[in-house]
Chain A
Amino acid sequence: MSEKTKMVKVYIMGEAFMVPAASTIIMAIEYAGFQLKRGIGCREGFCGACATVYREKGDYKLKGGLGCQTVVSDEMYIAQIPFVPAEKPLYDLNELTPDPSTFMKLFPSIYRCVACNTCTKSCPQDIQVMDYIQALIRGDIKQAAELSFDCIRCGLCALRCPAEIVQYNAGTLARRLYGKYLSPKSPELEDRLQEVNDGIYDQEIDEMMTMDIKDLTKKYFAREIKIT
C-alpha cells in the first residue's frame, strides 16, 4: 500500500484500527494484524465461512455479509461469526421419499415460518430464502431446490430467523432429493456405463498408452474437434 492510500477507521470487535479504505472486511482484519483461523475460508465468496455482522455509521441497522465480499466503510463496527450452532437432522437419502412428508418429519420447524422475509433480507447471496421455505411448505421440492441453489451455507438466515428455522439445511435436503429422485434421468448415461463395463473402449485406450510419442502427437493434433 502506498502512503497516499486512503484510510478509514473501523472497529473490529469494538477496537479501533486504521485500514485502507478499499479493503474488504477480511483484508481489514488482516491489515490490523490478526491471523484468521475461524471466520475465513475460500476468500472468494464460495464457502460461507466468513459470515460477518456489521453496523455502518449513522445507521441503526445490524447488517450481515460475507467478510471477503464486503468493503469496509469509515466508522464501521465489525464482528465475525465463527460458527452457527444449528440443528442438522441425520438421514439416509435412500430411505427418503421426495415429498412433503419427509420435510414434516425432518424439518418440522419450517412450518413455523411467519413469512417475515428476514431470512431473504439477511442473505448475502440474494437468495429468495423465504420463498424456498414457502415452496417446501407447499410441497414444491423442485422450486425449493432451484431457489436455494446458490446457497453457500453461511448461516446468516438461520441466525436471524425469529421462527428458529435452519433454512440452509432444509435447502440442502431439497436439492439432494431433487437431484436423486425428481430430475429427469439422462438417457445417454446408462448406455455409456454399459459400454465402459463391457470394456469396449479399452483396446483403443491401451493402444494409445503404448504408442510412440511422435505418432501420438500426430494423432492428437489431427483429432477431429466437434464442439458447439
Chain B
Amino acid sequence: MYPEYMMESINKVERTRPQRLELARKHGKMIYPRMSEEERETVLNNYHPDYKKESRREVRVGPNKGEILTTEVADIFESYGRVNKEMFNFDKVDYETDVLIIGAGSAGMAAALIASEKGSDVLIATKLRLGDANSMMAQGGIQAATQKDDSPATHYLDVIGGGHFDNKPELAKALVNDAPESIKWLEELGVMFDKDEDGSMTVKSGGGTSRNRMHSTRDYTGAGICRVLRDEVFNRPEKIKYLEYSPVVELLLNEKQEVSGAIIYHLDNKQYSIIKAKSVIMATGGFGRLHIRGFETTNHYGATADGLVLTYRVGAKMMFMDSVQYHPTGAVFPEQIVGFLCTEKIRALGAQPVNCDGELFVYPLEPRDVEASAFIRESQGRDLGVKTPAGLVGIWLDTPLIEDILGEGTIEKMLPAMLRQYERFGIDVRKYPMLVYPTLHYQNGGIEINDKCETNVPGLFVAGEASGGIHGRNRLMGNSQLDIIVFGKRAGLQASNRSNDIQKVGKVHMDHIEKYNAEVAKLHLPKSKIAPMILPDYIPDHVKAKQLVSEYSGTLI
C-alpha cells in the first residue's frame, strides 16, 4: 500500500478526477492538446536522456568507427573477444545445418518455422530457453491496418512520423504491408486475438497512432504470440533442432568471408561447440540489460546486446545506434517492481498521466520519446513529481479512470497482468493510481538490414530488435510485436533461399576476431574488458569484492 504522505497526493488526484472524467467523456483522448513539431523538439532537446552530452560518444573501432553511438554500446564494441582461435580445431565441427538461428524470441522462432517449411534444416542456438525473450513480455499489442477506416499507407505515415522521418523507407513499407498477413498467419497458428462478438478484432489506439490499430491478446500480447510459436517449434523436432543455455560467443566466416557458423558456449557444462551453417540469422534482441544511463529496464534478463557485438566483429554496419527508447511508464513504486513495464494500453484505455497536484500536463498518447520527455520535465524540470521512500520520483498514472469511463470490470478483463502485478504487492490499481517514470525499454537502432533482412556481410541476416532502420529513432507501441513477425518470417524465407543455393560452406575460421582484437588493443584497454556480456551481474559490491572473478568488468560466466 502507499505510505501516508503519498496518499495525500493521491487525494489531490481523486479531487481532480471528476473534472478529468468529464473532459474524457466530452473529448475522448483529446483531453490535452497534442504537441506541435516545435514543442516536440523543445521537450526532446531539453529532457530526453539521449540528448544529454555524455549519452553518446565516438566509437574508435569497427565498421562504424568515427561515428557517434550510445556510450554503453561504444563501450561493448571496444572490448576483446572471450575466445581465440588457438582454442579450436575448425576441422572438427560439432553441428552442421542449413540455417542457424541465434536467439529464440518470436523473431527467431518465426524465422525457424518459415525456414523449415521451405525445406531447410534449422538449428536454433539460444542463451536461455526457447521463448526467453523480450517478445514474451510485451503487453499492449501488435499493430496492423486491418480496419476499414485504416490502411497500410496511413500506418506508414504514423511509423515514419513517430520515427522522425529517419526510418529506412523500404523497411517501413515492408512492415506495414505485411502486417495484415502477419495477423492472419498468427491466427492460423492459433493465437487468440481479442475480438468483439461478431469476430471483428478489438483494436485500440497507441501513442502516435492515428487510427485504432492495436490488436491484443489481453495484456499478454507478447506471450499470446510467443508461446504459440514456441509450441509450434516443439512440434517440429525433425526439421528444427534447438540448443538451449547455449549463447553464441563468436561468429565464424568461411574462406569467402561469408558468415558460416558460430561458436557456442554451454552455460552449464562450460563446453564450447562449433556450428557450421549455410546462412545465419541473428535474432538476439536488444540491450536493456546494459542499463544505459543507469536506467532501470523493462527488458528480459538476457537482453545484453550480444548479437550487436558478434555481428560488429564480422563487419556488419549499425544504424541509428545512437538512439534509446525509454518507455514513459515504468513502475517506480513499490520497490520490488521498479522499472517494470506498465503497458501503454493503460493510457489507450483512458488512464491519464497527472502530476503530484492531480493536474494533466501532456496529451496521454504522444510518441514514446515525447511522452517520456514530458514526464521527465514534469518531475525533474518542474519538480511536480512524487518522491518514493527509496528516493525515486514519478508521476501518477490515474488508472481508476479506466473503469469510470469504460465500466466496472474493464481492468480485470483487459489488463489482468497489470492488476495481478500490483495486487501481489498490495496495491489495487482499480482504486489507486500507479506511480510511474520512464524506463529503458527498447533498442531503436541496430544492425542495418534491407527488406530481405540481409546485412552488408554475406550470409548474415538479422531480424527483430537486433536490427536497425525500421523504426528510425523512435518506435511506436505495437510495432515491435509486428516487426518481429514480419521480419522474422522474411529472414526465415531469405536465409532458406540462400541455403538452398549453396552447395558447400568450406572451411570456417575466426581470423577476423584476431584482427578486431588487435584494433581494440591499440586503445590500451585492460584485458579484462570482454564481450559479449551474456548475462548481467547483480551481485552486490561487498560480495563481488571477495569473489575470485572480481577483476572482470564484464560478466565471467
Contact = CB atoms under 8 A, between A and B. Distances in A.
A91 B245 CA distance: 25
B181 interface: yes
Contacts of B184: 189, 193
Interface string A206-219: 10111001001101
A193 B190 contact: no
25 contacts: A22-B336, A33-B544, A41-B300, A41-B302, A42-B136, A46-B220, A93-B189, A126-B420, A149-B217, A149-B220, A175-B190, A179-B190, A183-B192, A193-B180, A193-B181, A201-B151, A202-B177, A205-B176, A208-B160, A209-B170, A220-B161, A220-B165, A223-B157, A223-B161, A227-B209
B180 A43 contact: no
A152 B192 contact: no
Contacts of A91: 235
Given A35-B555, A126-B420, A209-B173, A42 B300 contact: yes
A205 B170 CA distance: 10
A204 B234 CA distance: 41
B543 A175 contact: no
B304 interface: no
B539 A33 contact: yes
A153 B227 contact: yes
Contact of B212 (A40, A43, A93, A227): A227
Interface string A140-163: 000001000110110000000000
Interface in B1-55: 28-29, 36-37
A36 B557 CA distance: 10
Contact of A187 (B200, B218, B537): B200
Contacts of B84: none
A204 B157 CA distance: 10
Given A22-B335, A42-B132, A208-B160, A183 B199 contact: yes
Shortest Cβ-Cβ A-B pairs, 4 listed: A176-B190, A184-B199, A220-B161, A227-B205
Interface string B97-120: 000000000000000000000000
B145 interface: yes
A37 B420 CA distance: 26
B177 A196 contact: yes
Interface stretch (A24-32, A114-122, A129-137): A24-32
B132 A41 contact: yes
Contacts of A224: 210
B199 A185 contact: yes
B407 interface: no
Interface string A166-184: 0000001101111110011
Given A183-B199, A227-B29, A227-B205, A46 B235 contact: no
A81 B297 CA distance: 25
A49 B128 contact: yes
B160 A226 contact: no
B547 interface: yes
Contacts of A109: none
Given A37-B268, A49-B128, A192-B145, A150 B192 contact: no
A47 interface: yes
B227 A32 contact: no
Interface string B138-161: 000000011111011110111011
A71 B199 CA distance: 41
B530 to A, nearest CB: 15
Contact of A179 (B191, B210, B547): B191
A13 interface: no
Contacts of B147: 188
Contacts of A43: 300-301
A156 to B, nearest CB: 15
Contacts of B291: none
A12 to B, nearest CB: 13
Interface in B515-557: 535, 537-540, 543-544, 547, 555, 557
B223 A152 contact: yes
B146 A33 contact: no
Contacts of B146: 186, 188-189, 192
